[in-house]
Amino acid sequence: MIEIAKAGTLTTIQDAGRTGYQELGVPESGALDNFAFRCANLLVGNAENTPALESVLFGPEIKFLKDTFIAITGADLGPVLNGDKVNLWETLEVSSDSILTFSGPTGNGLRSYLALAGGVAGAGTDLVMGSYSTYIAGEFGGHEGRALRDGDVINTGAGLEGFEGGLSLENPPNYDEDVVIRIIEGPQHDRFSETAMETLTSSSYQVTPNSDRMGCRLDGPILEHLTGPDVISDGNAFGVIQVPGDGKPIILLADRGTTGGYTKIATVITADRSKLAQLLPGSSIRFEIVGQTKAVELLREQETLLASFLNKEGSPLKFKVDGMLVDAVDDSGLPLSVQNPETKTYAAKVSHEAGEHQVEVEISE
């Protein structure tokens, strides 16, 4: 278990999000910086979607009640373990009674992720609609449907047997205060004046302080509508740029409303969503249009970087089946780890449930 001595500004339990319920008005929630979240889990031998802690601006003070491995990724909020500053983006071994604190933001990002070996799901942590993610507005998921408070005790799972750590990300992202966000045209881009898209892509916009997990509100040049801002309500995707009547764009994020009736001029590509999560108030944004082919290429590059964790010696052996990352186990059900990074094929069995179907795959030389 871990004890939350001080909760920090806003610390919540998040996983990759709650999918399949937007038609009921339930947003995805989940880690805003999905790349940093997934990296943190891989660094401690967890499955990518294992629940972790997301902290904003001023991180928590945590007492560890057992020996474990941790990893801290995302924004540099000044992590200090037992009085010593520690590195981000690498595996850290932590002994029982250790104290983790955060000295404060360094200007390099807004949100930090703390993964523990085995995750933080357990008694007192709510699995709702297939996800542990905290949705504060709905008061469900995470720890009692709320942000963590001083004195909370959170249960943790068992880490991967035989995991020895020693992992790191060689070239972690740097969260600049002047960011280029790449976009594709939105579903109602034709409802704007001919100069609106040019204005959007040639101007600089600033992140306002009233941004949150629902949306990133921007201040800058007005985007002119042709016949007003309203359309028949339709679905809202993560990263869509909605423009209400004042002409100031809002980038919708994980806790957004699932439908909306404002025109959407563009959508942020999936590979750049993590940049949105790390934008500090006052940061400048410039937009660049790319085609769908380029957007897919950039996402593939990001996934390749994440996959680099999967072939390091000692890390859990995983395969992708039907697009899902699953653990490989031996005949007794125990997880396998990579023994030789140069080995390209393995004799292993992997399985997962895809909807109502059970899939089994044999992989061998």
**Lowest mean pLDDT across 199-213, 283-297, 300-314:** 300-314
Q: Are β-strands 284-289 and 178-185 bridged in parallel, bridged antiparallel, or unpaired?
A: parallel
Q: Which residue has the higher pLDDT, 197 or 348?
A: 197
Residue 232, CA atoms < 13 Å, CB-side half-sphere: 0
Q: pTM of the entire structure?
A: 0.86
**Lowest mean pLDDT across 34-48, 260-274, 295-309, 342-356:** 342-356
Rounded mean pLDDT of 29-43? 96
Predicted local distance difference test score (pLDDT) of residue 238: 96
**Quick one: pLDDT band at residue 310, thresholds 50, 70, 90?**
low
3-state SS, the chain, equals CEEEEECCCCEEEECCCCCCCHHHCCCCCCCCCHHHHHHHHHHCCCCCCCCEEEEECCCCEEEECCCEEEEEEECCCCEEECCEECCCCEEEEECCCCEEEECCCCCCCCEEEEEECCCCCCCCCECECCECCCEHHHCECEECCECCCCCCEECCCCCCCCCCCCCECCCCCCCCCEEEEEEEECCCHHHECCCHHHHHHHCCEEECCCCCCCEEEEECCCCCECCCCEEEEEECCCCEEEECCCCCCEEECCCCCCEEEEEEEEEECHHHHHHHHCCCCCCEEEEEECCHHHHHHHHHHHHHHHHHHHHCCCCECEEEECCEEEEEECCCCCECECCCCCCCCCCEEEEEEECCEEEEEEECC
pLDDT for 177-221, tens place per residue?
889 999 999 999 999 999 999 999 999 999 999 999 999 999 999
Distances (CA, A) of 30 to 16, 44, 114, 148: 5, 19, 14, 15
Predicted local distance difference test score (pLDDT) of residue 129: 94
CATH of 178-300, one of 3.40.50.150, 2.60.40.10, 1.10.274.10, 2.40.100.10: 2.40.100.10
pLDDT for 238-258, tens place per residue?
999 999 999 999 999 999 999
Predicted local distance difference test score (pLDDT) of residue 170: 83
Rounded mean pLDDT of 21-36? 95
Percent of the chain with pLDDT over 70: 83
Nearest to 142 by CA among 256, 37, 17: 17
Rounded mean pLDDT of 94-99? 96
pLDDT for 130-181, tens place per residue?
999 999 999 999 999 999 999 999 988 887 777 888 889 888 898 988 899 9
**Quick one: pLDDT band at residue 234, thresholds 50, 70, 90?**
very high
| pLDDT at residue 308 is higher than 80 | no
| pLDDT at residue 365 is higher than 70 | no
| pLDDT at residue 83 is higher than 90 | yes
Give me the residue spans of the domains in the chain: 2-154, 178-300, 317-363
Residues 268 and 286 sit within 8 Å (Cβ to Cβ): no
Residues 6+ apart with CB under 8 A from 15: 30, 31, 37, 49, 50, 51, 52, 131, 132, 133
| pLDDT at residue 309 is higher than 70 | no
| pLDDT at residue 222 is higher than 60 | yes
